[in-house]
């Protein structure tokens, strides 16, 4: 029987391709609770990286720092977080991912708790750098686990649940953290987060998934980062990730400050309205992830589904975030909700796409590379926003620039990322990269 047009069978029908596909991992019991724990860890992750923005007005007043210095503090996390992505990707491909992730989680939660006892700009800057080192293993680890334990047609929803945790982290941080900081101050808030976060390690150490045993299809000695960089799609996912990270971390780091100083909301109102955007982000990404999986299960191509979702989401989000800056006060809550929902759609396939492209043996390195380049956008957004505020005193330009970045991301997902199918790494390994000599097959003659 012939392959259905546009189906995975048609896209991957070449015999050499079929031979190269990694076999599906056998289902392990308890993966639903593992997925729940991973989603909870993302929630903790994003509370810990966004908590500084919640306390930003109080910290700025206490330390007497400028908007530019505040932007530097907010972006310091991204410096080491981005730089450590490549080694983190290598670590999760080389060693048992569950232990790599456990060590990173312990480091970042300890850094969060320590923040509450520090004084001075330099000390806070240093602990944010350490926080970035700990959290750098997170998303390469998530992709390694999902790629090894979930099939293509189930990864949309699995990744969406992780992204829902990502969204609910800032939401809970604002809804709960805003009130806690407003009542007790920012130092008890950080101490409590660090201590409570450590409790997550107890069920993780009891339930964490065992390492998957599979035949090795890729020789690490012949395939590495240079071979990944030769793939056009990796540049598309990297640019797309840079776009997503720019507008996501613009909202994570500066939305609380904008609502308090730009819209003149109280801390409690900021917590409620800002938290609403991230709650709607969780709703949007969960719905779009579930629907995209059903679309693929019905026979549609992952290329059409995954790329189409990203293109639609980035385009619509850019329009919405630009209108948010112009919305009158009576419409502010509605625009925050709409922007959050579209944010969820624009992020839902950012990790499902590279998981399929890279396959289980290369996914750590691919996602590490993607997150390294992508987080350059995350590092730029807070500093650029602070600079623009110091120069103009208005929030319009930061919002308009964010919209433009979202539209660049839509173009990247559409035109640079290729078909969503696993790369033939054996074939890629046979092609020499720059500075690598092709092995000679000729017999030398005297």
pTM above 0.75, yes or no: yes
Integer angstrom CA distances of residue 19 from 256, 424, 432, 438? 51, 10, 22, 24
Q: Which two tokens stand for residue 47?
A: 């509370």
Task: State the DSSP code for 331.
Answer: G
Q: Tell me if 149 sits within 8 A of 213, measured CB to CB.
A: no
Predicted local confidence at residue 361, as pLDDT = 81
Q: Could you give the CA distance from residue 389 to residue 393 in angstroms, rounded to a whole number?
A: 5
Kindly state the average pLDDT of the residues 251-268. Answer: 86
Q: Tell me if 21 sits within 8 A of 141, measured CB to CB.
A: no
Predicted local confidence at residue 238, as pLDDT = 94
Could you read off the pLDDT of 32-41 as tens digits, one per residue? 888 999 999 9
Q: Which two tokens stand for residue 275?
A: 């938290």
Q: Tell me if 88 sits within 8 A of 140, measured CB to CB.
A: yes
Dihedral of CA atoms 129, 134, 139, 140 in degrees, nearest 10, equals 110
210: pLDDT confidence band, cut at 50, 70 and 90? confident
Kindly state the average pLDDT of the residues 308-320. Answer: 96
Q: Which helix (H) or strand (E) holds 370?
A: helix 363-392
Q: Which two tokens stand for residue 313?
A: 């989401």
Is a pLDDT exceeding 80 seen at residue 217?
Answer: no
Q: Which residue has the higher pLDDT, 267 or 130?
A: 130
Kindly state the average pLDDT of the residues 360-378. Answer: 86
Domains of the chain: 30-208+223-424 (1.20.1250.20)
What sign has the CA pseudo-torsion 225, 378, 165, 182? positive
181: pLDDT confidence band, cut at 50, 70 and 90? confident
Q: Could you give the CA distance from residue 275 to residue 169 in angstroms, rounded to a whole number?
A: 9
């Amino acid at each position: 029987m012939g392959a259905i047009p546009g189906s995975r069978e048609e896209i991957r029908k070449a015999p050499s391709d079929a031979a190269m596909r990694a076999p599906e991992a056998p289902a392990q019991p308890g993966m639903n609770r593992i997925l729940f724990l991973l989603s909870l860890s993302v929630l903790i992750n994003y509370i810990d990286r966004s908590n500084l923005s919640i306390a930003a007005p109080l910290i700025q007043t206490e330390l007497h720092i400028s908007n530019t210095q505040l932007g530097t503090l907010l972006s310091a996390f991204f410096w080491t977080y981005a730089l450590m992505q490549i080694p983190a990707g290598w670590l999760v491909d080389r060693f048992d991912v569950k232990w790599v992730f456990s060590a990173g989680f312990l480091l970042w939660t300890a850094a969060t708790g320590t923040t509450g006892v520090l004084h001075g700009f330099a000390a806070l800057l240093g602990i944010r750098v350490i926080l970035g080192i700990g959290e750098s293993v997170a998303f390469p680890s998530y992709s390694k686990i999902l790629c090894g334990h979930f099939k293509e047609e189930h990864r949309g929803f699995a990744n969406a649940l992780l992204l829902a945790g990502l969204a609910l982290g800032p939401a809970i941080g604002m809804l709960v953290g805003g009130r806690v900081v407003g009542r007790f101050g920012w130092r008890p808030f950080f101490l409590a987060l660090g201590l409570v976060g450590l409790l997550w390690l107890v069920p993780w150490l009891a339930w964490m998934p065992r390492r998957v045993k599979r035949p090795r299809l890729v020789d690490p000695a012949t395939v590495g980062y240079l071979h990944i960089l030769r793939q056009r799609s990796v540049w598309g996912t990297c640019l797309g990730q840079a776009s997503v990270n720019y507008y996501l971390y613009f909202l994570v780091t500066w939305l609380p400050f904008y609502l308090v100083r730009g819209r003149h909301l109280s801390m409690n109102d900021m917590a409620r309205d800002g938290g609403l955007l991230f709650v709607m982000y969780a709703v949007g990404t969960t719905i779009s992830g579930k629907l995209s999986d059903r679309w693929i299960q019905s026979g549609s191509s992952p290329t059409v589904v995954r790329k189409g979702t990203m293109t639609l989401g980035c385009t619509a989000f850019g329009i919405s975030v630009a209108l948010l800056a112009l919305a009158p006060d009576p419409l502010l809550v509605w625009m925050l909700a709409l922007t959050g929902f579209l944010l969820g759609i624009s992020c839902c396939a950012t990790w499902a796409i590279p998981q399929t492209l890279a396959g289980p043996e290369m996914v750590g390195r691919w996602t590490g590379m993607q997150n390294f380049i992508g987080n350059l956008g995350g590092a730029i957004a807070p500093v650029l926003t602070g600079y623009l505020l110091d120069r103009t005193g208005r929030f319009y330009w930061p919002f308009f620039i964010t919209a433009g970045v979202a539209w660049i991301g839509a173009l990247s997902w559409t035109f640079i990322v290729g078909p969503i199918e696993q790369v033939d790494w054996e074939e890629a390994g046979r092609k020499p990269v720059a500075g690598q000599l092709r092995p000679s097959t000729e017999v030398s003659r005297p």
